[in-house]
Structure formats: structure tokens, C-alpha cells
Copies of this chain bind each other. A is one copy, B any other.
Amino acid sequence: MSLATLDTSQHPNLPTASATLFQAKATKKLSFEQIAQHIGRNEVATAAIFYGQAKGSPEDIASLASLLEIPQPILEEQLDGFPDRGKSVEMPPKEPLIYRLYEIVQNYGYAYKAVLNEKFGDGIMSAISFSTKVEKETDADGNNWAVITLRGKWLPFSRF
């Protein structure tokens, strides 16, 4: 089985930590599932730390440093600040897998809005008070299905 890797020449704007983490992951031949289990976080959140899209706690950093055999002070320094999110995917996404997710928003965006507004009132589903997960299902015919769950707090617009 192949593992996700990072070719920095394709991602010049990711943080320095991304190169450090992905290189160690490749050397240790670990999957995100294994790393996530080790640090006690969800796989998607773990991968998001690798892409500079989520913040690791001090414990996460210590745990990653130990698992990936990266000198802890180096990882701490590289992960110490606050993620500068949004620099990994160029929109509209050209990557086919990511485009499909974008297309779902493009096609069903107003349908989601209509249904959510009728269920919850005027507001939004938070993308910050938010978690997500990926699951794999196999049906009776042996076909695989990917299931992505998005769970966000409902925030009503304030009245002022």
C-alpha cells in the first residue's frame, strides 16, 4: 500500500513543518491512521496538522516528535505559532479528488442552505466549532464507498 507523501516543489507555500513532518512520515512508513491513533486525534485532523491547517497542542507536538523521531525543539519551533490556514488548496481546485468536494458545494450549496434554514432558522453551520471524519464502507457487491461526515455547531445570526 502506498502512503501519502509531500513533494514540496508542488506546494511551495506550505509551512516548513509540512516538509519536516511528511519526510519523517515517509521514513517511518506510517499512515495517517497510525499517527492519528498514536496522538489520539482524528485522521483528518492529523493530516490537517501536516498540511499546516490545524494546530497541534504541546502534547500533540511531543507525541509526534517522539513517534516520528524528529528532535522535539525543532518541531516545537516549527509548530509553535498559529496556523496560517488556506494556503494548501488553490481554488477552484484542480486536483480531481478535491474538485469533487468543491462540486458538491457548487451543486448542492443552495439545497443545503434551504434545508438547514428550515431546520435551524437563520444562521450558519460553523466550520470552526467543527469536526469531520472519513469512513470506508463496502457494500454487498464489494463496491467501496467513502463517507465523509461534517459536524458543525449551529450559529444563529445575532439580532442587533
Docked-complex contact B109 and A103, CB < 8 angstroms: no
Docked-complex contact B127 and A104, CB < 8 angstroms: yes
* Contact residues of A: prevailing secondary structure: mixed
| A105 interfacial contact with B, CB 8 Å | yes
Docked-complex contact A153 and B143, CB < 8 angstroms: yes
Docked-complex contact B85 and A96, CB < 8 angstroms: yes
Question: For residue A74, which residues in chain B have a CB less than 8 angstroms away from its CB?
Answer: none
| A73 interfacial contact with B, CB 8 Å | no
Docked-complex contact A122 and B83, CB < 8 angstroms: yes
Docked-complex contact A118 and B154, CB < 8 angstroms: no
Docked-complex contact A150 and B104, CB < 8 angstroms: yes
CB-defined A-B contacts under 8 Å, sample of 9: A3-B81, A4-B82, A9-B12, A44-B108, A44-B160, A53-B107, A98-B112, A120-B144, A125-B148
Contact surface of A with B, Cβ cutoff 8 Å: 1-7, 9-17, 26, 31-33, 41-45, 47-48, 50-55, 57, 77-78, 80-89, 91-134, 136-137, 143-160
